[in-house]
Chain A
Amino acid sequence: MKQVLMIGVAMLGSAAVACDLDDTAQMMMTEDDDAPEVYVQMDPAPVSKPFSVNIILCDFVADTIEIDAWMPAHQHGMNYAPRVEQTQSGYKASDFVFQMPGTWQFKAVVVKDDDQFAYTLDTVAK
């Protein structure tokens, strides 16, 4: 059970990476002041199949990243907890499963020192 509780959180420590974005990159929305830019790179989300996304922090080093997703219209989240790992170009979050077609919303929290920044990004599974 401890394993499940740790899922979806990456403890980070390496240097900032340059903002190397591809054509699929979408900037996550935030209402927090001075929040660094965070991008999600992904192929179109499938329905009920596991998939992963790349998370890019532009020129910023975070202490932790948490990411999850839910379906606002249905008021439910995912049945699985995504796992985040550090990669050469940023971070990879795996084991997302959108169990229904429709609009889902990624929710991410980036923590650096005493600052915490919240982000969202809508995407459609079909």
Chain B
Amino acid sequence: MIRALGVCLAFVLPVTAQADVILTQAEIDLAFAHGPWAPEIAADPSNRVSGDPDAIAFGETLFHSVDLSQDGSMSCASCHDPELGFSDGLKRAVGRVQLDRNTQSLWNLSQHRWFGWAGSTDSIWAHSIRPLLHPDEMGQSPQIVQHAMTHGPLADGYADIFGTAKDQDATEVLVNAAKALAAYQETLVTGATPFDAFLNAIEAKDWRAAAQYPEAAQRGWQIFAGRGKCTFCHVGPAFTNQEFHDAGVPYFITDTRVDQGRFQGLQDVLASPFNLAGDYSDDPDKIGAWAVETVRPLHSDFGIFRVPSLRNVALTAPYMHDGSLPDLTSVVQHYNTINLERLHADGEAILEPLGLTPKEVADVVAFLESLTEIPD
């Protein structure tokens, strides 16, 4: 490919553009493993209203409704604000009290296998139940959700899709509401980014368009996929391997309290009646249950967290599970100078200080910023 690229550039493009694509063929091949975008979103077989337009519309209504909180003070959108990348811009989320973790964005959820920083659920709908019931978040009970779906402004929308709530078991109503919320959240897919435009241009052999991708971002990609080893975890079109790793971020919430991360999350999902092996899944074949049925509890689960997608990452500061890093430069610097004493995974030998110069750090940041969608 690179030889062909050179020939084309030499005969078609002005000299200035020729110098603008600096990647080797191997680096371009690696980049193609992160596309194309956006992937086709298949309906979730565990959710019978997945992809249903009426359920999507009702789910969006629920997402913005304060009637789902105990005291009518907050909605899903209070923390997952569409204007803030479906996050909140805060270091740590604030529900009824300040919570222990940073609010994750809700984009591209269909690309994930586990949900939340600790993977405490294995479907979007099950993860939508969690904040509804958590006493520190929306503080609901199934009965109060049922009441909200029986009386008031949400009742008709619920009944049109699921039937009359008052005739149903309260937990069933809760799950149905969560499945409508999930149907809506599945539609939150990020758009094309400058990185995607670069790959598309190369695939189309449009070298002039490819040369529009900033050289700083290309240098950043070289580090990201090369000595940075970032693609070991941030892999594939969504830039996440969907799994859990130790990023060297402290897991002490206070001097005396720790965030157990995946260790607790795995216990939660295995015990949950709402996991994909359970009766609340609508899939008679339980296709998605393989993960919860075969996942291995590991010593190294303690204090590790899910690898986030990097799509639209520039819009979701601050970063890491505890929101401790305020911007992308500090994230790259974290890995650049990572403290190996903080890594506790069982012998996993991947991360090491990178020794990047300030210019190289800026290049990686330029690459990360190029993963954020191009505004309409």
Contacts and interface: CB of A to CB of B under 8 A. Distances in A.
A100 B294 contact: no
Contact of A95 (B231, B236, B294): B294
Contacts of A4: 293-297
A74 B294 contact: no
A74 B349 contact: yes
Interface in B100-115: none
Contact of A101 (B231, B291, B295): B231
Interface in B192-237: 231-233, 235-236
A79 interface: yes
A83 interface: yes
A78 B241 CA distance: 12
Interface in A36-87: 47-48, 50, 73-83
Contacts, number: 64
B298 A101 contact: no
A102 B350 CA distance: 12
Contact of B235 (A74, A94, A101): A101
A96 to B, nearest CB: 10
Contacts of B293: 3-4
A81 B292 CA distance: 11
Interface residues of A, number: 24
B11 interface: no
B120 to A, nearest CB: 15
A76 B348 contact: yes
Q: Is the interface of B mostly helix, strand, loop or mixed?
A: loop
A50 B290 contact: yes
A112 interface: no
Interface residues of B, number: 25
Contacts of A73: 349
B285 interface: no
Given A50-B290, A80-B291, A102 B345 contact: no
A48 B236 CA distance: 9
B39 to A, nearest CB: 12
A47 B348 contact: no
Q: Is the interface of A mostly helix, strand, loop or mixed?
A: loop
Nearest to B350: A74
A83 B347 CA distance: 25
B346 interface: yes
B370 interface: no
Contacts of B244: 79
Interface in B232-270: 232-233, 235-236, 241-244
A70 B40 CA distance: 31
Contacts of B345: 76
A80 B232 contact: no
Given A7-B294, A79-B243, 18 more contacts: A4-B296, A47-B236, A48-B242, A50-B290, A75-B349, A76-B300, A76-B346, A76-B348, A77-B296, A79-B296, A80-B290, A81-B296, A82-B294, A83-B294, A95-B294, A100-B232, A100-B233, A100-B241
The 8 closest A-B pairs by CB, nearest first: A48-B241, A75-B347, A80-B294, A99-B243, A95-B294, A100-B232, A76-B348, A99-B241
